[in-house]
Amino acid sequence: MLTPILRTLITRELRAVKRELEAYPDDASVWREIPGLPNTGGTLALHMAGNLQHFFGAILARDGYKRDRDAEFARRNVPRQEMYAEIDRAIAAVERALDGVRDDTFGTAYPEPIANRRVVTGPFVAHLASHLAYHLGQLDYHRRAVTGDRRGIEALSVRELPEVS
């Protein structure tokens, strides 16, 4: 039961990341620095995609992804088309990983230590979903500050949740 819920929420948020990036007027504005904000929209997008490709793809799905976390924060002026591709790869990594996870796996140890600790897979994967939503909010704030557009993009839209049949 947990697997389809996680798939729905995480892929919804990743699609929202793409909508946020699309709402910037141009590639340069995605990278505009705002005093007091630690990250640009582009940095946040690369970090969200890299984080999920690592923890879902490389660790859970064992898909061979090699993370360069430092580059997620150091790269600049990456075109949005390239970021969209990274987000699509993150969606694919999440789906691949969740396809191979049974519900009883969520009660077992995550395959790799996290912060030098053995953590339970279910709470850690829920943490990853929360981490994604946290950074999605930061991305939304950055976009609004850069563009002056106060409108939202329905980032956490309940319209994307399954309906009762």
User: Nearest Cα to 3, choosing from 97, 114, 135?
Assistant: 97
Mean pLDDT on 46-53: 98
Instruction: Give Cα 84 to chain centroid, integer Å.
Output: 12
Cα(124)–Cα(40) distance, rounded to whole angstroms? 26
* pLDDT for res 2: 84
pTM: 0.95
What is the dihedral angle through the alpha carbons of 35, 40, 43, 48, rounded to the nearest 10 degrees?
Answer: 110
The mean pLDDT of 119-138, rounded to a whole number, is 97
CA 137 to chain centroid, in Å, comes to 11
Residue-range domains of the chain with CATH: 2-155 (1.20.120.450)
> Tens digit of pLDDT for each residue in 136-160?
999 999 999 999 999 989 888 899 9
The yes-or-no verdict on residue 60 having pLDDT over 90 is yes
Q: Which ranges of the chain does DSSP label H, i.e. alpha helix?
A: 2-22, 27-30, 41-52, 69-74, 80-99, 121-147
* Cα separation, 80 vs 28, whole angstroms: 9
